Every structure is written in C-alpha cells, then in structure tokens.
Amino acid sequence: MEKLVLGIVSMGKYIGAGLATIGVVGAGIGIGIVFGALIIGLTKNQYIEQKLVRFVFLGFALTEAMGLLAIMMAFLILYS
C-alpha cells in the first residue's frame, strides 16, 4: 500500500513538472512576437531605431524571465 502511495505521488510530481514547463513555450512565442514587432517597426520608421531597440531588450528580458520562472517552478515541483 505504501509503495502505491509513493508511486502516485511521484507520478503527480512528474506530471506537474511537465505541465509547469508549458510556460517555456509561451516565453518562446513571446520572444518571437517581440522581435517580429521590432522588424515591422524598423521597416516602417528607421529613424527611431534606438528607441525601439531599448523597448525590445526590455520586452525580451521580461519575457525570458517568465520562461525562467516556469522552469524554476518545474524544478521546485520535481525536487521537493
């Protein structure tokens, strides 16, 4: 009976960690959107390149942080 309970708990950990990594997919999509918007913005107006690049780096950093938080949560679920 004890082995069954431990098996169910470990199965739940693996499923939970796998579901927590779905946030990484969202981060990848977000990074693609950010850089795609940069390309569109630069084709429309090249004169504000410096301003656009600053916003892109900010958006990239925040989006990447969300992906890293998703990975961290998966590791916390898996190894706790």
The string of pLDDT tens digits covering residues 18-31 is 998 998 999 999 99
What CATH number corresponds to the domain at position 72? 1.20.20.10
Whether the pTM exceeds 0.85: the reply is: no
> What domain count does the chain have?
1
pLDDT at 72 over 90: yes
Chain-centroid distance, C-alpha 9: 26
> Which residue segment(s) compose the domain that 50 sits in?
2-78
- Spatial contact of 27 and 64, defined as CB atoms under 8 Å apart: yes
pLDDT recorded at residue 38: 94
